[in-house]
Amino acid sequence: MAVAKNKIEQVMDYVQTQIDSRIWTAQTRLPSVRQLAKQLGYSVSTVVEAYERLVAQGVIQAKAGSGFFVTAPNALLSMTSLAPKRERAVDPLWISRQTLEAGEAFLKPGCGWLPEDWLPQQSMRKAIRSSLSLPSKVLSDYATPQGAYAFRQLLAMRMQSKQIDAIPEQIMLMDSATQAIDLLCRFLLKPNDTVLVDDPCYFNFQALLKVHQVNVVGVPYTAQGVDIQAFEQAIHTHQPRLYITNAGLHNPTGAVQTLSNAYQVVKLIQQANMLVIEDDIYADFEDEPAPRLAALDGLKNVIYIGSFSKTLSASLRCGFIASSMEWIDDLVDLKIATQFSHHYLSAEIIYAILTDGSYRKHIDSMKLRLKRHMKSSIAQLATLGITPWMVPKAGMFLWCQLDERYDVNQLSKDCLAQDMVLAPGNSFSQSQQFKNYLRFNVAQCQNPKVFQILAEALALQNLNG
């Protein structure tokens, strides 16, 4: 049992808590002895003793004439030290983490996935049950490196329906789209390369690219697709190696690139001998087929990826990479070296659902449901003075603008205090130009409490502002 701590230990605990909760990160300068003594209500000598013990433990270090600093951790790669620290409320990684850790306890009207009851639970259970009759090796063995041929044939067929010419030989199964992009980044990038992303874009692209220590440049996304002039300018200025974007319904805006915009993008990247990773995880959400860069380019400079975590399951993880034949061999090697195998059984279960005849019905009904929720969410948000930048033709997202007088950061904090996690615009933006925006997921706005809490938080600002 813990003995009551003396004052010195209490000061040490306070410092340790600041560090553990990352309010003070590596190399942060601590308050001076006098400052902290005053702040905590202890004597200067108590704080001196506490600081000295923490120095002896290596938790902080003294720099002569400068004061005390949090020791850089043993680890080289610290997410918090890789880039200017963002305020948590808009830090993409912090938001992902909050949302993942909180689980069902929190309302998450801005998150990027459907509620579990929207996913085809019955089909999942049926496929899991029938997996029991699969050959034993499927339950026990490593998968083949590229993954089951039949599944790759199916993926090639699905790609054909998006006008993308692909053969099973140029496809490799992975455990998720995130993992696929990560593998490709390892394959294609070196530190200090420049990578273009849309502005705004899916916020985990930014967290991932931080890990790869590359220079990230955002290019404004318009209602017709990425801003071509800005894109061309960015290529000229930065000589980027790579452009990462999502296909079809843009995340977070819901906009859909026009065919002529797509053509210009492909022409520019081919001229610049740049590469593109086109992430099509929302492939099945669209009604009218949008142009894929991979279709125009023919998988030469464009690498196409996808997964089933948005329409089937985020738990049974399954994704894929389709790339030029030139690279598949090396990608397979890299996959073996870094993960050895994807999940054999998960892939078989996902394949079973995709081929049992239920998938199309599930998608059609999901899209109808989203349309209804899109309508009602727009209406409810309007009553709060929140309007979408554009009304998307399909999908789950609404990219919404709030009146300039609102502090969206403060709003996020107030909502968090009520166990609701928002998705503030600046988490999606390299350029941080969307401080008055919020992304909503219409499928996660069903609970009336969402609008209640939001209304209260807005009212709070009206009162104070």
Measured distance CA(395)–CA(221) in Å, rounded: 17
| CB closer to its own copies out of 176 and 257 | 176
Instruction: Give min distance, CB of 99 to its own copies, in A.
Output: 9
Asked if residue 149 binds its own copies (CB under 8 A), the reply is: no
In angstroms, what CA-CA distances link 283 with 43, 115, 173, 297, 298?
A: 63, 18, 17, 18, 18
Instruction: Give min distance, CB of 133 to its own copies, in A.
Output: 9
Instruction: Give min distance, CB of 227 to its own copies, in A.
Output: 26
Q: Is 237 exposed, middle or buried (0-12, 13-18, 19+ CB in 10 A)?
A: exposed
Instruction: Give min distance, CB of 465 to its own copies, in A.
Output: 34
Asked if residue 48 binds its own copies (CB under 8 A), the reply is: no
Residues 100-119 that bind its own copies (CB under 8 A): 100-101, 103-104, 113, 116-117, 119
Asked if residue 430 binds its own copies (CB under 8 A), the reply is: no
| CB closer to its own copies out of 229 and 315 | 315
Residues 52-91 that bind its own copies (CB under 8 A): 73-80
Candidates 15, 90, 172, 175: give the one binding its own copies (CB under 8 A).
175
Instruction: Give min distance, CB of 421 to its own copies, in A.
Output: 14
Candidates 66, 140, 192, 464: give the one binding its own copies (CB under 8 A).
140
Residues 194-223 that bind its own copies (CB under 8 A): 204, 207-208, 210-211
Nearest Cα residue to 236 out of 198, 271, 210, 286: 271
Provide the mask over 310-339, with x wherever binding to its own copies is found by CB under 8 A and - wherever it is not: ---xxxxx-------xxx-xx-xxx-xxxx
Asked if residue 358 binds its own copies (CB under 8 A), the reply is: no
Tell me how many degrees the CA angle 236-238-240 measures, rounded to the nearest 5.
100
Query: Stretches 36-44, 62-70, 344-352, 443-451: which one binds its own copies (CB under 8 A)?
Result: 344-352
Please list, in sequence order, all residues whose beta carbon lies within 8 angstroms of the beta carbon of residue 402, skipping any fewer than 6 positions away: 385, 386, 408, 411, 436, 437, 438
The DSSP result for 310-323, as a single string, is TTT-SSS--EEEE-
Provide the mask over 276-315, with x wherever binding to its own copies is found by CB under 8 A and - wherever it is not: -------------------------------------xxx
In this structure, are residues 423 and 98 in contact, taking their beta carbons and an 8 Å threshold? no
Instruction: Give min distance, CB of 187 to its own copies, in A.
Output: 5
Instruction: Give min distance, CB of 103 to its own copies, in A.
Output: 6
Q: Which tokens is 415 given?
A: 């909502």
Candidates 29, 34, 38, 97: give the one binding its own copies (CB under 8 A).
97
Measured distance CA(352)–CA(414) in Å, rounded: 44
In this structure, are residues 355 and 367 in contact, taking their beta carbons and an 8 Å threshold? no
Candidates 10, 131, 224, 258: give the one binding its own copies (CB under 8 A).
131
- Size of residue set near its own copies by CB under 8 A: 78
Instruction: Give min distance, CB of 130 to its own copies, in A.
Output: 11
| CB closer to its own copies out of 207 and 266 | 207
Could you tell me how many residues make up the chain?
A: 465
Measured distance CA(246)–CA(225) in Å, rounded: 11
Question: What count of other Cβ atoms lies within 10 Å of the Cβ of residue 336?
Answer: 12
Asked if residue 121 binds its own copies (CB under 8 A), the reply is: yes
Residues 225-264 that bind its own copies (CB under 8 A): none
Measured distance CA(396)–CA(113) in Å, rounded: 8
Asked if residue 427 binds its own copies (CB under 8 A), the reply is: no
Query: Stretches 3-11, 176-184, 289-297, 387-395: which one binds its own copies (CB under 8 A)?
Result: 176-184
Measured distance CA(78)–CA(53) in Å, rounded: 25
Asked if residue 408 binds its own copies (CB under 8 A), the reply is: no
- Buried b / exposed e over 16-27, threshold 16 CB at 10 Å, is bebbeebebbee
Q: Which amino acid type is present at position 17? A: T
φ, ψ (nearest 5 deg) of residue 279: -95, 110
Helices 259-271 and 228-238: crossing angle in degrees, nearest 10, is: 10
φ, ψ (nearest 5 deg) of residue 258: -80, 165
Instruction: Give min distance, CB of 367 to its own copies, in A.
Output: 18
Asked if residue 362 binds its own copies (CB under 8 A), the reply is: no
Report which DSSP code applies to 290.
P
